[in-house]
Structures are given as C-alpha cells and as structure tokens.
Amino acid sequence: MLPASVRPVFDAVQARNPHEPEFQQAVHEVLHSIAPVLERHPQFVSGGIAERIVEPERQIIFRVPWVDDAGVLQVNRGFRVQFSSVLGPYKGGLRFHPSVNLSIIKFLGFEQIFKNALTGQGIGGAKGGSDFDPHGRTDAEIMRFCQSFMNELYRHLGEHTDVPAGDIGVGAREIGYLFGQYRKITNRHESGMFTGKGVQWGGAEVRTEATGYGAVFFAEEMLAVDGGSLEGKRVAVSGSGNVAIYAIDKAWQLGAVPVTASDSSGYVVDDAGIDVGLLRQVKEIDRARISEYAVRRPSARFVEGARPWEVAVDIAIPSATQNELDESDAAALIAGGVRAVVEGANMPSTPGAIAALRAAGVLFGPGKAANAGGVATSALEMSQNAARQRWSFDDSEAKLRVIMKNVHDSAFDAAERYGHPGDYVVGANASGFERVAHAMLAQGVI
C-alpha cells in the first residue's frame, strides 16, 4: 500500500500513462520509498518535486528504416527518453530488443535518475533503444540498422547534452557503429558523447567489466555488514551477456563458486563452476545459445525453458532482464537457503519477490544501487575523455571498488536515517532522491 501522501502522484501517473505497466511499477517503488523523505522535507512537497520528477523532460520517438541483406525494407521504432538533466547531461544506455516499448524505456530512464545520483557523479538520467532484434542478424545488417538509428538520434546527443551507452543487445560492436555514424554526420570526434567505447578509441579500462564487477563488490559490502563474505559461496547468476559474464568472473576472483548462467532459452548449471572462458567463447564469439555451453562442458547440464533460481545457492545475482525473478522463484531460492539476492539487471525482481525475500530475512541489493558500477565507470570514461587521459586497469578498478562502497554506504545510511535499517530499496531510493530533489529546488521550476 502506498502512503496517502504520495498516492495522488501515483494516481496521476497511472491516469496519464495507462498502458505502461513497467513504468508504473518503477514509479510505485520509488514513491513508496520516498514518502518518509517528503515527510521530513516539506520544501520538497511545496516544490512539487515528486509531481515533476515522474514526467520526463523530453521523449523522442522516431522511425528507423533500413534494408536487410535480402533487400527487404524493415522499419523499427527508436526511442530516447531524456528524464532528468538536473545533475548533469542525460546519461543512460540504449537497448535493442524486440520487447522494447515506451513503458520499458521510461521505467529504465526513471530508475536511471536515482541510480546516477547515487553514484555521486554529475550525470542526469535517460534511456533509449529500439524494438530491433539483433539476434541472427549479420554484421552488415547490424551496421545499417545502427547507422539509420543514429541518423535521427544524433541531433539530440552531445557530450554536454546526452551521453548514451550500451544495454541489452548493444555491446562493443553496436557502440562502434553508432559512434562512427555520429562522427560522420557531425564531423566531430567527440569522444565524450558515448561511453562503452573500445579502449583503443576513447573507451575506458574496466567499463566493459564494471557492471558485473560492481554488483559483486556490492554483494561483498552487504555480506560484510552481515558478518559474512563471498569465500566459498555458491552463486547463481542469470543471463550470459555483459553483466552476467563479468559478475561470474569477479565472483570467482573473490573466492565464490558461480554455478549457473542462462539466456532466454533456459539455463546451464555447472557444479564444477562456470568456465568464464568457455562462456565468453559461446556467447560473445560464436554468438550461440547457452545450451552450447553444456554441449562443450561435461560437468554442466542444460535445463530448457527454466530459470536458475531452482538451484540451491547462497547468493543469487539476476543479471538478464526485468521481472525475471518472481514470487515463486523467491520461494525456491529461500527453500534452497539463499542468504543474499543482488540485482545485476534493472528491476529483475518483481515486487512480490522482493517482499518475500525481505520477509524471510534475505539480504536484498536493488539494481539501482548494485548495478550502478556500470554508469559510474561511464562517468569516469567521460572524465578521461574530457581530460584526454587514459587511466590503467588497476587504477580504474580501484576507483570502481571505492565507488561501490560509497554507493553501498549511502544506501545503508539512508535506510537507517529513515527508520528502515537494512532495507536497501528504501535506502537507495531515498538517498538518490534527496540529491536530485535538492538540485531541483535550487534550479527552480523548469
């Protein structure tokens, strides 16, 4: 139940955005968490902060026409939702996936505002993407699609305006094509207008690894407060993309044993622990389905059409997509003895799952805090681009570790301050919101 103080804001969001369930879900969660913040800061109420923050500053929807290898015309829809620039240039990834629609981009953009605020860096919140499905497309098709996408989007971007990065379906290859087209159209090698670039042409060390590594650093912080550690723990990871691969990699490095990976066809469980090299070969180089991992690895088996939460583990790191861990998955994890769930993906746990995990005393790290390492390292990439510098891998990873500790501590402290000790959902939302709200008040009604 939403507190009465924020109910009218949510009612207005529902009335104004009736066909956007994911956006409503994200707003509901944030409003629930910030009710105690509004109570303590009457100036946020009189300043209409909640009413203003739920409406994007700008939404762009555009046609993306392109021609496939068979010479057939294809038309996709492109999106960029520029939610808030009060703390810095709009910042957030691009997602290419057939499920993309305005609701999903708005939920991601809304979450991004608070996540970015939580990192302490000067970056606003945005998200974009397309309903284009890169699976099974040739490199030439991907390139033509990216070029057409950028033919429209370029006019809304810039290092001081809006700085995209990757997300589902947008990795190093797509970022290369998108950046190349921007450079061609504008005649500017503007390194700071995109993050996640190749390290040879303006990218930052550790950006590729940052989201997965950061989620595991966050897990380490949570476990430490609880008197535990990652040493010897069995970890279930979902997904087999950018976030999942590097979460698995860092879990190994910190002494844990990651035993699962998945994609939309099912999951693999490997009691010997996931072989990161083989996983990368299968998913990043061969671009094959996850079942291929089990074909090549005798200690693993593939479970079709299921999710990895039925495997008994100590720690779960959902790293695929939104709402991929529901109440029944939470029950299975609890029955298997899970101690912590740390979100690598954005909003992978349903509200019912979060409630069940919290009720069972499971530590829960929301994506807004736990996966903030990616965008935080993007901000470091922007700093390096602006200064024309390149920091070493070790130096960048050390900075990421400090940032994740600060993100953890900000969320933890805010949860205590607002009377919800140990509730990282309330803590992350409240802490991010405070920073955004103070800046909005200072900058007036715009």
Query: Which 66-85 positions form the footprint of ligand NDP (CB under 6 A)?
Result: none
C-alpha span between 280 and 411 (Å, rounded): 33
- Binding-site member from 85, 211, 396, 429 for ligand NDP (CB under 6 A): 211
Task: Point out which span in 136-144, 320-328, 379-387, 396-404 binds ligand NDP (CB under 6 A).
Answer: 320-328
Give the DSSP H or E segment for 27: helix 21-40
* Minimal distance, residue 150 CB to ligand NDP, in Å: 19
Task: Point out which span in 178-186, 222-230, 239-247, 393-401 binds ligand NDP (CB under 6 A).
Answer: 239-247
The C-alpha R_g of the chain, in whole angstroms, comes to: 21
Query: Which 330-359 positions form the footprint of ligand NDP (CB under 6 A)?
Result: 344-346
C-alpha span between 133 and 103 (Å, rounded): 18
Which x/- pattern over 151-170 shows residues binding ligand NDP (rule: CB under 6 A)? ---------------xxxx-
Helix/strand/coil for 427: helix
Task: Point out which span in 11-19, 49-57, 319-327, 358-366 binds ligand NDP (CB under 6 A).
Answer: 319-327
Q: How many residues sit close enough to ligand NDP to count as binding (CB under 6 A)?
A: 23
Nearest to 351 by CA among 322, 313, 373, 311: 322
Closer Cβ to ligand NDP, 195 or 410, answer by number: 195
* Minimal distance, residue 302 CB to ligand NDP, in Å: 13
Q: Would you state the structure tokens that stand for residue 406, as one six-digit string?
A: 């600060």
Out of 91, 106, 127, 233, pick the active-site residue: 127
Strands 315-317 and 234-237, by their bridges, are parallel
Q: Write out the DSSP string of 326-346.
A: -HHHHHHHHHTT--EEE-SSS
242 binding ligand NDP? (CB under 6 A): yes
371 binding ligand NDP? (CB under 6 A): yes
263 binding ligand NDP? (CB under 6 A): yes
C-alpha span between 140 and 17 (Å, rounded): 37
Closer Cβ to ligand NDP, 85 or 242, answer by number: 242
Instruction: Give the number of other Cβ atoms within 10 Å of residue 203's Cβ.
Output: 23
- Binding-site member from 109, 125, 203, 241 for ligand NDP (CB under 6 A): 241
Active site residue 127: yes
Closer Cβ to ligand NDP, 346 or 385, answer by number: 346
146 binding ligand NDP? (CB under 6 A): no
Give, to the nearest 10 degrees, the angle between helix 102-118 and helix 393-417.
Answer: 90
Q: Are 32 and 6 in contact (CB under 8 A)?
A: yes
Distance between alpha carbon 100 and the CA centroid of its chain, in Å?
Answer: 15
Burial label, 351 (beta-carbon count in 10 A; 0-12, 13-18, 19+): middle
- Binding-site member from 124, 192, 202, 374 for ligand NDP (CB under 6 A): 374
* Minimal distance, residue 130 CB to ligand NDP, in Å: 13
Nearest to 218 by CA among 400, 423, 345, 404: 404
The contact set with ligand NDP (CB under 6 A) reads 166-169, 171, 211, 239-244, 263-264, 319-321, 324, 344-346, 371, 374
| Residues acting as catalytic residues | 127
